[in-house]
């Protein structure tokens, strides 16, 4: 019986840790601020375990019987904790309240387990052996759980089903205990029946968990989600598959680390290399710091002003090790200044002059973003352009959204600018388009910074050539009071997806 008993200790300990990890992960996933969430969840959990241990002294009789019931209860509460928390977050305002209530209940139950077990077996072993064995297996179980959780459980099963699986393990231990401690139990049939009911319930839960987590995310993001948060402005998700890091803003792919160099080199170099002695550069959008990384390759550039709406975005790309590796810590450069502001009002109120302006906004998927692709906006931006400078605009795909691309070109023209459209192939996006605009003739540069992987003087000519399937279309300019671009863009993509 010995080893079997200690295996249940191990399992019980693993369950206890899993619930704690599930609660901590869910809290930081849903609410954000993972340091705070994990600290408080673990602290509360441990404190509640202490309360449970203290309460164990009030249990005098029927120790084995009580132990089975505690296991069952924990199986139910812990097993459904993850699902309950997700529902609580979705449908109530009291997520935190429910979170800590659950953590306390689970902590108390877990805190009761080991003292009860020790007392149940105390007559079979020497006291010092009981302590040594129980605690050894307790810690072993914790180690196992802490390794299983990030490596196997979360990626394979997800949080909801992981919790339910361990709920079943708790219930399994309860069932097992009815045999293990049969001598100390009465009414074992009733107990076993209860165990089976709980097991079936949790099993059904695992089978149907998809319905609980049928948040769109499961379908959208094919890869492992390594970071997700709701900032004030957008839903930000970072995924990884092997060495491919992808950023999604409101479910729209922003870059894939495998080929983003193509996009960002093409965004920056054809224009910036054509500006003689560029000293001051403005980036509108581009909070990922990837355009800034390319701009920092020009030693003449003295200042980069990056205006991005979302402080959480620029903070993330200034601090997350994987992301700062990707953008070469560009956002931390002393030459770069981050301003978290709404672009149009900022452009309107600021008076600085720039030699190169990068406009890298999300595609015009709604009327709010559409304002950033209007004649009025480009007029306001052009006022910041020095005589020798250029503006470059991310202009969606001339292949998939051909009308939209040429509409943006026409809008820049309407704002009194000369335009030089070009395109580039980015595997994760497809054909992508940019438009250079300025008040003077664009002459293709012959020299680029060293070390570029895509843009070269020789290859530049072909970027400015549009094959017939992407060639210019006559489109009206996009204005605030017409917002033709948003409607055009919607139609363009509708045509593709049907």
* Contacts to other proteins by CB under 8 A: 88, 92-95, 97-98, 101, 232-233, 309, 342-345, 348, 366-372, 374-376, 479-483, 486
CB of 1 to other proteins, least distance (A): 36
CB of 288 to other proteins, least distance (A): 18
Q: Is 460 helix (H, G, I), strand (E, B) or coil?
A: helix
Sole residue written with tokens 């990030």: 150
CB of 97 to other proteins, least distance (A): 6
Distance in angstroms (rounded) separating the CA atoms of residues 121 and 127: 10
Looking at beta carbons only, is 4 or 480 nearer to other proteins? 480
Pairing of strands 336-339, 303-307: parallel
Distance in angstroms (rounded) separating the CA atoms of residues 496 and 211: 30
Distance in angstroms (rounded) separating the CA atoms of residues 228 and 15: 26
φ/ψ of residue 385, rounded to 5: -90, 130
Cα–Cα nearest to 120, from 169, 62, 53, 75: 62
Distance in angstroms (rounded) separating the CA atoms of residues 270 and 456: 9
Distance in angstroms (rounded) separating the CA atoms of residues 167 and 143: 18
CB of 93 to other proteins, least distance (A): 6
DSSP single-letter state for residue 152: I
Rg (CA), the chain: 30
DSSP single-letter state for residue 149: I
- DSSP, residue by residue, 402-413: HHHHHHHHHHHH
Sole residue written with tokens 């060639």: 471
CB of 379 to other proteins, least distance (A): 8
CB of 305 to other proteins, least distance (A): 18
CB of 60 to other proteins, least distance (A): 17
Distance in angstroms (rounded) separating the CA atoms of residues 334 and 330: 9
Looking at beta carbons only, is 295 or 486 nearer to other proteins? 486
Looking at beta carbons only, is 94 or 155 nearer to other proteins? 94
Cα–Cα nearest to 263, from 240, 238, 293, 234: 293
Looking at beta carbons only, is 119 or 413 nearer to other proteins? 413
Looking at beta carbons only, is 109 or 343 nearer to other proteins? 343
CB 178 within 8 A of CB 194: no
Looking at beta carbons only, is 128 or 232 nearer to other proteins? 232
Q: Which residues are catalytic?
A: 360
CB 366 within 8 A of CB 404: no
Instruction: Please work out, in degrees rounded to the nearest 5, the angle formed at the alpha carbon of residue 480 by the alpha carbons of 478 and 485.
Output: 35
Looking at beta carbons only, is 208 or 230 nearer to other proteins? 230
Distance in angstroms (rounded) separating the CA atoms of residues 79 and 77: 6
Looking at beta carbons only, is 12 or 485 nearer to other proteins? 485
CB of 313 to other proteins, least distance (A): 12
Looking at beta carbons only, is 167 or 477 nearer to other proteins? 477
Instruction: Provide CB contacts within 8 A for 262, sequence distance 6+.
Output: 424, 425, 426, 427, 453, 454
CB of 99 to other proteins, least distance (A): 11
Distance in angstroms (rounded) separating the CA atoms of residues 35 and 38: 5
What is the total residue count of the chain? 498
Looking at beta carbons only, is 198 or 375 nearer to other proteins? 375
Cα–Cα nearest to 294, from 323, 263, 325: 263
Which ranges constitute the DSSP H helices of 320-370?
321-326, 343-349, 367-370
Longest dimension (CA), the chain: 94
CB of 368 to other proteins, least distance (A): 5
Bridge partners (DSSP) listed for residue 92: none
């Amino acid at each position: 019986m010995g080893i079997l008993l200690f295996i249940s200790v191990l399992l019980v300990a693993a369950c206890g840790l899993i619930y704690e990890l599930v609660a901590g992960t869910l809290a930081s996933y849903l609410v954000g601020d993972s340091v705070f969430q994990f600290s408080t969840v673990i602290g509360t959990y441990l404190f509640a375990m202490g309360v449970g241990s203290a309460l164990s002294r009030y249990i005098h009789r029927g120790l084995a019987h009580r132990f089975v019931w505690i296991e069952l209860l924990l199986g139910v509460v812990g097993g459904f904790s993850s699902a309950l928390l997700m529902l609580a977050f979705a449908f109530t305002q009291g997520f935190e309240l429910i979170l800590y209530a659950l953590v306390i209940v689970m902590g108390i139950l877990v805190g009761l387990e080991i003292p009860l077990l020790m007392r149940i077996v105390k007559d079979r072993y020497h006291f010092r052996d009981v302590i040594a064995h129980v605690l050894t297996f307790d810690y072993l179980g914790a180690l196992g759980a802490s390794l299983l959780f990030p490596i196997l459980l979360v990626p394979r099963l997800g949080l909801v089903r992981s919790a339910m699986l361990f709920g079943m393990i708790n219930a399994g231990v309860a069932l097992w205990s009815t045999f293990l401690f049969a001598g100390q139990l009465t009414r074992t049939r009733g107990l076993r029946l209860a165990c089976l009911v709980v097991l079936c319930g949790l099993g059904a839960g695992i089978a149907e968990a998809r319905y609980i987590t049928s948040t769109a995310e499961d379908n959208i993001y094919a890869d492992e989600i390594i970071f997700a948060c709701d900032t004030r402005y957008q839903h930000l998700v970072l995924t990884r598959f092997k060495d491919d890091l992808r950023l999604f803003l409101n479910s729209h792919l922003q870059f894939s680390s495998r080929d983003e160099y193509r996009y960002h080199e093409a965004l920056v170099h054809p224009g910036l290399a054509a500006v003689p002695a560029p000293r001051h550069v403005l980036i509108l959008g581009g909070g990922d710091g990837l355009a800034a990384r390319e701009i920092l390759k020009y030693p003449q550039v003295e200042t980069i002003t990056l205006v991005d709406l979302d402080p959480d975005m620029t903070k993330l790309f200034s601090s997350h090790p994987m992301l700062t590796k990707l953008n070469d810590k560009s956002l931390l450069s002393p030459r770069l200044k981050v301003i978290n502001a709404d672009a149009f009002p900022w452009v309107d109120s600021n008076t600085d002059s720039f030699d190169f302006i990068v406009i890298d906004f999300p595609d015009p998927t709604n009327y709010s973003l559409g304002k950033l692709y209007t004649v009025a906006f480009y007029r306001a931006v052009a006022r910041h352009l020095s005589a020798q400078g250029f503006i470059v605009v991310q202009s969606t795909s001339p292949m998939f959204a051909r009308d939209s691309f040429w509409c943006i070109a026409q809008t820049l023209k309407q704002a009194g600018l000369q335009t030089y459209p070009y395109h580039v192939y980015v595997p994760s996006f497809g054909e992508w388009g940019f438009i250079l605009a300025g008040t003077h003739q664009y002459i293709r540069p012959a020299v680029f910074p060293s070390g570029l992987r895509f843009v070269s003087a020789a290859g530049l000519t072909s970027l400015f050539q549009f094959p017939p399937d992407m060639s210019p279309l006559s489109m009206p300019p996009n204005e605030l009071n017409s917002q033709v671009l948003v409607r055009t863009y919607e139609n363009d993509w509708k045509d593709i997806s049907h």
